Amino acid sequence: MRALVVAVILTTGLAGGLLEGVVWAQGMRQPSAAVSKPPFSLDDPEAVAEGGKRFSSTCTGYCHGREGRVSRAPKLRGKTYEPSYLYARIANGFPPMPAFQTVLPPEEIWKLVAYIMSLSSAPDD
């Protein structure tokens, strides 16, 4: 019985996350996030490169595909994002994505944001 309850909770959370992802991807609404400002320009090539290294070591494999391509999680390439939305999503997580604020300092999260923002103009080949 306990396993069934856990399965229902996980499935509902996953479905909610997928639905929110569809709504968000269509640009209908994005959750607000009260977050700090980035400590550097998000188009700084050094920050983008460092964010890319962190993304490769932290976010690819099980969840996001290499270079933000589709995998178990939605693709990140060729989409437009609000920086505060990305920061909040990475820091706070959203089922099934874990919260990274407990393992990454804010500057590292902003580097991930810079990298993901750089993928908005990347072709999805």
Buried b (16+ CB within 10 A) or exposed e, 67-93: bbeeeebbbbbebebebbbbbbbbbee
pLDDT at 73: 74
Q: Tell me the three state secondary structure of residue 71.
A: coil
Residue 115 has a CB neighbour count (10 Å cut-off) of 25
The pLDDT-based confidence of 94 (bands split at 50, 70, 90) is confident
The region of weakest confidence among 32-36, 73-77, 120-124 is 32-36
Higher pLDDT, 105 or 6: 105
Q: Tens digits of per-residue pLDDT, 96-114? A: 888 999 999 999 999 999 9
Q: Tens digits of per-residue pLDDT, 35-48? A: 578 999 999 999 99
CATH topology of domain 30-121: Cytochrome Bc1 Complex; Chain D, domain 2 (1.10.760)
Q: Tell me the three state secondary structure of residue 60.
A: strand
The mean of the pLDDT values for the chain is 74
